[in-house]
Structure 1
Amino acid sequence: MNETIDDTDIRILKCLIRDSKRPHKEIGEEVHLTGQAVGARVRKLHDLGVIEGYTVKWNPERLGLGLQAFVTIFLNSGDRHAAFREFMATREDIVEVHRVSGEGCYLMRVRTETMEQLGSLLEAILPYGNYRMNLSVGIEKSE
Structure 2
Amino acid sequence: MNETIDDTDLRILQILIQDAKRSHKEIGEDVHLTGQAVGARVRKLQDLGVIEGYTVKWNPERLGLGLQAFVTVFMNSGDRHAAFRTFIASREDIVEVHRISGEGCYLMRVRTGTTEQLNQLLEELLHYGNYKMSLSIRVEK
**TM-score normalised by structure 1 residue count:** 0.93
Matches of 1:27 and 1:103 in 2, distance apart? 44
Displacement of 1:91 in angstroms is 1.4
How many residues align structurally? 141
Please list the CA deviations of residues 7-30 of structure 1 after superposition, one character each: whole Å capped at 9, or x if unmatched: 000000000001111011111111
1:99 matched to which residue of 2? 99
Matches of 1:125 and 1:139 in 2, distance apart? 25
Matches of 1:89 and 1:17 in 2, distance apart? 27
Q: Structure 1: give runs of 5+ residues left out of the alignment.
A: none
Runs of 4+ in structure 1 deviating by more than 3 angstroms, as ranges, are none
Q: Structure 2: give runs of 5+ residues left out of the alignment.
A: none
Residue aligned with 1:97, SS: strand
Please tell me whether residue 38 in structure 1 is matched to residue 38 in structure 2.
yes
Matches of 1:57 and 1:139 in 2, distance apart? 14
Question: CA 1:62–1:88 in structure 2 vs 1: closer, same or farther (change >3 Å)?
Answer: same
Match for 1:86: what amino acid?
Answer: T
Matches of 1:134 and 1:3 in 2, distance apart? 44
Matches of 1:133 and 1:39 in 2, distance apart? 44
Residue aligned with 2:51, SS: coil
2:69 matched to which residue of 1? 69
2:139 matched to which residue of 1? 139
Please list the CA deviations of residues 30-67 of structure 1 after superposition, one character each: whole Å capped at 9, or x if unmatched: 11111111111111111111111111111111110000
Q: Quote the RMSD (CA, aligned, Å).
A: 1.4
Match for 2:66: what amino acid?
Answer: G
Please list the CA deviations of residues 68-126 of structure 1 after superposition, one character each: whole Å capped at 9, or x if unmatched: 00000001111111111122122111111111111000000100000111011111111
**TM-score normalised by structure 2 residue count:** 0.95
Residue aligned with 2:123, SS: helix
2:17 matched to which residue of 1? 17
Please tell me whether residue 88 in structure 1 is matched to residue 88 in structure 2.
yes
Matches of 1:51 and 1:91 in 2, distance apart? 26
